[in-house]
Amino acid sequence: PEAVVKKYLEEVKGSPADEDCIICMEKLSSPSGYSDSCECSTIKPETVGRLTNCQHSFHMLCVLAMYSNGNKDGSLQCPSCKTIYGEKTGTQPKGKMEVSTFPQSLPGHKDCGTIQIVYHISRGIQGPEHPNPGMPYTARGFPRYCYLPDNEKGRKVLELLKVAWKRRLIFTVGTSSTTGESNTVVWNEIHHKTEMDTNLSGHGYPDPNYLDNVLAELAAQGVTEDCLKQ
């Protein structure tokens, strides 16, 4: 964890700006509020670091505490502006993503056919990255069927969803917002359309803003067009 923090933050020399560290809410000129709970031989409680791209500053020990509480995947996300450093990965359980196309159009996308994505995840036992390691998790409502228009933007979203799937970002183990069941597989902040021909539920078409919205949600998870060039 210390190496990750030092990789993305540069130490601020001299006296830090007169502002608060938004992680511990103490002044940057005071020691980190995490100095009791997070001990580290190589980072002093008063050391302030600045993230290299977005230039936001925090106590380095606070960033270490934040990173150590996450799923420690080698990436950091700025708590101020959400810029991602490194490659963010999630805790999605094992499964399969299948893609097919058919000629029928979606409402609002009359000029093209449809891409169908099918996600398969089965119940299993939670790993160390999940809320209750060693306990079972359920997987309700699988396989899940999702739909995209088979046009240029829809195909781009599909390719980015494949990257998000590989990085385990599409589902996670948590508490279902619809049923309240805990220790179950739930969607993770990247919205999908699970109905084709009605949008009464908000999960179908027509929805003229959907593709732009999902591109923004993918970008918030660090999945952007740059990932497709690699």
Domain count, the chain: 2
Average pLDDT estimate for 178-182: 94
User: Cα separation of 147 and 143, whole Å?
Assistant: 13
Claim: this prediction has a pTM higher than 0.75? yes
Q: Give tens-digit pLDDT for 187-216.
A: 999 999 999 988 888 899 999 999 999 999
Q: Is residue 90 part of a domain?
A: no
Read off the tokens for 75.
């990436």
| 77 shares its domain with 128 | no
Q: Give tens-digit pLDDT for 129-177.
A: 899 999 999 999 999 999 999 999 999 999 999 999 999 999 999 999 9
Q: Tell me the torsion sign for CA atoms 219, 154, 178, 174.
A: negative
Mean pLDDT of the chain: 92
**Domain end point (choices 65, 85, 105):** 85
| 217 shares its domain with 164 | yes
Per-residue pLDDT at 57 = 95
Q: Which domain holds residue 133?
A: 95-223
Q: Is residue 228 part of a domain?
A: no
| 142 shares its domain with 215 | yes
